[in-house]
């Protein structure tokens, strides 16, 4: 079943320094929970990428 949400992508050569998950309400999570999560990735060069992740 297509959800319209793809797996998070990291450009070649970029290293993820930190990955933090949040609930849809904005509460920080220790690990991804079932449902929609917000994942924030901070790269080694300081850039930040935020994506929605669906966990079934």
Residue 36: pLDDT band (50, 70, 90) is very high
Task: Kindly state whether residue 46 falls inside one of the protein's structural domains.
Answer: yes
pLDDT over 70 for what percent of the chain?
A: 77
Task: Kindly state whether residue 3 falls inside one of the protein's structural domains.
Answer: no
- pLDDT recorded at residue 3: 60
Looking at the 3D structure of the chain, how many domains does it have? 1
Task: Kindly state whether residue 10 falls inside one of the protein's structural domains.
Answer: no
Distance CA 23, CA 5 (A): 16
Distance CA 54, CA 30 (A): 16
Residue 16 has pLDDT above 70, yes or no: yes
Task: Kindly state whether residue 45 falls inside one of the protein's structural domains.
Answer: yes
Task: Kindly state whether residue 20 falls inside one of the protein's structural domains.
Answer: yes
Task: Kindly state whether residue 37 falls inside one of the protein's structural domains.
Answer: yes
20 is in which domain, residue-wise? Answer: 16-55
């Amino acid at each position: 079943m297509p959800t319209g949400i793809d797996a998070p992508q990291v450009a070649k050569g970029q290293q993820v320094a930190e990955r933090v998950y949040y609930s849809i309400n904005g509460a920080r999570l220790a690990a991804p929970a079932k449902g929609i999560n917000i994942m924030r990735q901070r790269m080694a060069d300081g850039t930040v990428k935020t994506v929605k992740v669906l966990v079934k």
